[in-house]
Amino acid sequence: MKKTILILFFTFTAFTAALAQRFAYVDSDYILKHMPEYASSQKQLASLSDQWQKEVDGRFQEIDRLYKAYQADQVLMTADMRKRREAEIVDKEKAAKDFQRSIFGPDGELSKKSTALIKPIQDRVSKAVQAVAEGDNLDMIFDKNSEVIMLYASPRYDKSNDVVTRLGLKPGVFAK
């Protein structure tokens, strides 16, 4: 009998504690769409990426041109001349791949530029989310667009507009 009462007591206590927690969620895509500086940084990154991609493509086109010229002249070359031309093509190809990696690789220039542009925006959103959570006495706020699987979320727990307002922006311009 004491065991049953004890089990019921702990179950009731755990259930009550679970009810006491307050949760909400935000839609980070929706919030970022409201931020002009985010759209501007995305355009800037796309422009840089296109510019660098053209430069990479130009280098590989040059290598292709050299290879075709080598193939056309190969019959007329001595063994020494062929080795020099092959080495030149291989060196240029290695340099082009290294350049491509230095721009588009995980630690490349595009990644560094993206971090430099996006990090301040993320920090600003994070501070606004924290302020909303503290202001509404929330225990947790989830991001609807993150790795956390949210199978259902009631719109009454959506604090995205509160975060947009906290950022000093006008909510409701973009449809969710």
Residue 8 domain flag: no
Q: Is the pLDDT of residue 53 over 80?
A: yes
Q: Is the pLDDT of residue 83 over 90?
A: yes
Residue 101 domain flag: yes
List all residues 6 or more positions away from 173 whose beta carbon is below 8 Å from its beta carbon. 34
Q: How confident is the prediction for the chain on average, in pLDDT? A: 84
Residue 6 domain flag: no
pLDDT in tens, 127-174: 898 888 888 888 888 888 877 665 456 677 788 888 888 888 887 755
Q: In angstroms, how far is CA 163 from the centroid of its own chain?
A: 20
DSSP letter (8 states) at residue 158: B
Could you tell me the residue range of the domain that residue 124 belongs to? 22-166
Residue 13 domain flag: no
Percent over 70 (pLDDT), the chain: 81
* Calpha distance 15→133 (Å, rounded): 23
List all residues 6 or more positions away from 66 whose beta carbon is below 8 Å from its beta carbon. 85, 88, 89, 92
Residue 5 domain flag: no
Residue 9 domain flag: no
Q: Is the pLDDT of residue 27 over 60?
A: yes
> Is 171 within 8 Å of 128 (Cβ atoms)?
no
Q: Is the pLDDT of residue 31 over 70?
A: yes
Instruction: Cite the beta strand spans of 89-171 per DSSP E.
Output: 140-143
Residue 4 domain flag: no
Q: Is the pLDDT of residue 15 over 60?
A: no
Res 148: pLDDT:
66
The total number of structural domains in the chain stands at 1
Q: Is the pLDDT of residue 88 over 50?
A: yes
Residue 2 domain flag: no
Res 142: pLDDT:
85
